[in-house]
Amino acid sequence: MDDITEREQLSEEIRRTERHLAGVVECANELVISLDSQGSILTWNRAAEIVSGYKSETVRGSPLVYLCAPEHQRRMIEMIHLPAKEASQQHEEINLLTSAGQEVPIAWSCSSMRDDSGRVSGIVVVGRNLAEQRRLEEQLIISDKLAALGVMAGGIAHELRNPLGIISASAQLILESPEETELRNQGLQKIDTATRRASLIIENLLKFSRSSWNNKMDTVNLITILDETIALLAHQLSLNNVVLTRQYQPEIPQILGNRELLQQVFTNLILNACSAMPTGGKLNISVSSTKDQVEIQFSDTGLGIPSALLQKIFDPFYTTRAVGQGSGLGLSISHSIIAQHHGTIEAKSVQNKGSTFVIRLPVSA
């Protein structure tokens, strides 16, 4: 006979620890998923069930990659298998397909589990639901966009008033002298040109004001977006006595992006440059490219930013303007939008000499 009391106590302690760990995983707010070395699902916690709509017994044994959006599946495969090779943790934002066919943005972290011999025995994947964060970001983007529209309102009204005045004057001349063929033709030509101008202004304004915060991106031409933004802000630049110059490298490659969101970033930077030059100045916009990225620079001759404040300008609600003149969201939201495009934005400035904002975006494959 052997006394196994101690052994039974130890076994009970191990079972208690296992139940505790299982409870922690089940009650976690994040998606916690364990995979075998081939990427098939072993465990699927309650948060994953709630977000995806799939029960644990339904997905067990299925490859996790099949539950991802089709366009993101290759990235998920790379993220799962890279830790097994390099013993490192991987981070990616990949959309999860729910049982209802919807896509939910998830920030994934992936790391490998190894046995005593150092071989990969499994993979742990933790996901954070970004849906609520995206909703809040969309609200901030709309708020910032409305603020920018308020700044532009006077300029837009003036821009529309000019072609309307030309149309009205030309129509009156035609009505007063219907027999003058040459005068009529000239008037009709002016009416047509002014109408096209007003239509272009309205079209650009609608593109800017449209709410489009989503992950759906297309190949876009940055030069076209910049020119549309400049046309929209032409009168604003004139009111501030800002002389605009453009330097575009020939044959700029296209990028993968969202047209309206990029236009919002460019609008913020141009309006900020106008504010930094209250008595007028020069704004130069240059675009160049390498094999892998496109670089856009906005350089002004304004007041500049003190070096002590330069690192804070992308913080939410940080502004040096007077109360009521700025929300402090413009640059923060611009930074978020560029990050969503897998790019970078940085600022360089010399006080009383001007500032330069540099945006770098990856070239579309």
CATH of the domain at 52: 3.30.450.20
* Domain that residue 15 falls in: 5-129
* Mean pLDDT, rounded, for 84-107: 78
| Residue ending a domain, choose from 129, 146, 171 | 129
| Residue ending a domain, choose from 129, 152, 182 | 129
Clarify whether residues 253 and 297 are in a common domain: yes
Clarify whether residues 37 and 153 are in a common domain: no
Report pLDDT for 360: 94
Q: How many domains does the chain have?
A: 2
* Mean pLDDT, rounded, for 268-273: 89
Burial of 164 (0-12, 13-18, 19+ CB in 10 A): middle
* Mean pLDDT, rounded, for 333-359: 88
CATH number at 231 reads 3.30.565.10
Residue 265 backbone phi and psi in degrees, to 5: -60, -45
Please give the distance of CA 303 from its chain centroid, rounded to a whole number. Answer: 28
Report pLDDT for 323: 40
Clarify whether residues 301 and 335 are in a common domain: yes
Clarify whether residues 10 and 122 are in a common domain: yes
Clarify whether residues 147 and 37 are in a common domain: no
pLDDT tens digits, 237-252: 888 899 999 999 998 9
pLDDT band, residue 321 (cuts 50/70/90): low
* Mean pLDDT, rounded, for 199-221: 67
pLDDT tens digits, 15-70: 776 665 666 666 677 888 888 878 888 888 888 888 888 888 888 888 888 888 88
Q: In terms of DSSP H, where are the helices of 60-130?
A: 73-86
Clarify whether residues 25 and 95 are in a common domain: yes
* Mean pLDDT, rounded, for 106-121: 79
| Residue ending a domain, choose from 129, 163, 195 | 129
Clarify whether residues 83 and 182 are in a common domain: no
pTM given for the model:
0.52
Highest-confidence range of 114-123, 192-201, 290-299, by mean pLDDT?
A: 290-299
Helices (runs of H) and strands (runs of E) counted in the chain = 11, 12
Clarify whether residues 27 and 149 are in a common domain: no
Residues 314/269, Cβ–Cβ less than 8 Å: no
